Amino acid sequence: MATLSVLTYFNSKVLLEKEGRKKSNLFLGILGVATNIVLIYYIYSMRTISGNVYSEVAFYYIFGLFVYFTMMYSATAIYAALYNWRPISYTPDYIIILGSGLIGDRVPPLLASRINRAVQQYKKYNGRPLIITSGGQGSDEKVAESFAMKKYIHEHYPEIPDEAVVMEDRSTTTLENMLFSKKIIKERFGEKARGLFVSNNYHILRAGYYARRAKLQANGVGSKTAFYYVPNAFTREFIGLLEMFKWRHITLIALYTIFMLLVLRASN
């Protein structure tokens, strides 16, 4: 736990230096602080809980929650890695590029890596898939993300014909990316089309759940992300996954709480 706290501190320091002091860049630092609090509480409790039933039950309750979320985080990270490595065994009909924030009307490096990865897949399949740039216009953006992505493709890959790239410019969330792109796919290819969606590697797992929710037959392909950026970004994704399945977690924690209360009652 102490090692984890030190690693999260140094990673957060590098992230803030390179990416700026944004709220979204603080998740890992907050996790490190929480880990420190649990560590201090653990050390303190080991010296003081002896003979106090309430303190002992509280200690094991908090420790159990910490173990639960740590195991969930680790299992999710392993599953996300395996999902990224899953091979594609078919020729895709389409490739959806999931949008992210722009800098004015320009494509930032994070989004550029997604586009480059999508073009790589397009060329891998000899230009057969339709490229769908998916993303609407945010309040702080001069143009729709889909427009900026298509412009980037034409500027950096002029060999790709204009008709090979279609814009979906209404979506504001990942689920909408999938749902609105599905309408384009259905019109072009029918119900049985299979394809790919491209995002950064840390985002692929959660995007896959949204693709399934939209009933898209699509697998994810991840683009590389700077190593220092991944831990914080994946922590945000993990919190997003907890939100997606919140009632499942709430139910399990409620049952665990009831069990610990019964233990407390039996100990008195």
184-240 confidence digits (pLDDT tens) = 999 999 989 999 999 999 999 999 999 999 999 999 999 988 877 788 888 889 999
The DSSP secondary-structure symbol of 108 reads -
In a domain, 6, yes or no: yes
3-class secondary structure, 222: strand
- What pLDDT, on a 0 to 100 scale, did the predictor assign at position 130? 98
Amino acid at 32: G
**Beta-carbon count within 10 A of 254 CB:** 10
Same domain, residue pair 96 and 216 = yes
- Tell me if residue 70 falls in helix, strand or coil: helix
pLDDT given at position 141: 81
Residues 173, 101 within the same domain: yes
Print burial letters for 207-220: b (CB count within 10 Å at least 16), e (below 16): bbbbbeebebbbbb
Residue 263 and residue 134 share a domain: no
Q: Would you say residue 62 lies in a domain?
A: yes
Considering the domain boundaries, does residue 237 fall inside one?
A: no
Answer whether 15's CB lies under 8 Å from 28's CB.
yes
Query: Do 33 and 49 fall into the same domain?
Result: yes
Cα(74)–Cα(156) distance, integer angstroms? 38
The pLDDT value recorded for residue 25 is 61
Antiparallel, parallel or unpaired: β 130-134 and 94-98: parallel
Residues 35 and 156 in one domain: no
Cα distance between residue 16 and residue 11, in whole Å = 9
Q: Which domain holds residue 31?
A: 2-84+243-267
Contact 204, 222 (CB under 8 A): yes
Please state, in angstroms and as integers, the Cα–Cα distance from residue 178 to each residue in 9, 97, 136, 143, 246, following that order.
36, 10, 13, 20, 22
Q: Does 14 fall in a domain?
A: yes
Same domain membership, residue 106 and residue 35: no
Do 187 and 201 fall into the same domain? yes
CB 135 within 8 A of CB 146: yes
The total of structural domains in the chain comes to 2
pLDDT for position 18: 54
Report the pLDDT value the prediction gives residue 248, as an integer from 0 to 100.
Answer: 96
Count of residues for the chain? Answer: 268
Do 70 and 92 lie in one domain? The reply is no
How confident is the model at residue 231, as a pLDDT?
A: 81
Distance CA 248, CA 94 (A): 34
Q: What percent of the chain has pLDDT over 70?
A: 85
**Is 67 inside a domain boundary?**
yes
Q: Residue holding tokens 């992230």?
A: 15
Residue 122 CA to residue 131 CA, distance in Å, equals 8
Q: What stretches of 100-203 show up as alpha helix (H) in DSSP?
A: 109-124, 145-156, 174-189
In a domain, 235, yes or no: no
Q: Under a CB-based contact definition with an 8 Å cutoff, are residues 127 and 228 in contact?
A: no
pLDDT of residue 252: 97
For residue 195, give the H/E element and its range.
Answer: strand 195-200
Judge if 94 and 218 occupy the same domain: yes
Residues 37 and 145 in one domain: no
What's the confidence (pLDDT) of residue 222? 94
Quick one: 220 and 134 in the same domain? yes
Q: Is residue 234 part of a domain?
A: no
pLDDT score, position 195: 97
For residue 162, what is the domain's CATH number? 3.40.50.620
What residues of the chain score a pLDDT lower than 50?
A: none
Is residue 232 situated within a structural domain? no
pTM summary value:
0.83
Are residue 58 and residue 108 in the same domain, yes or no? no
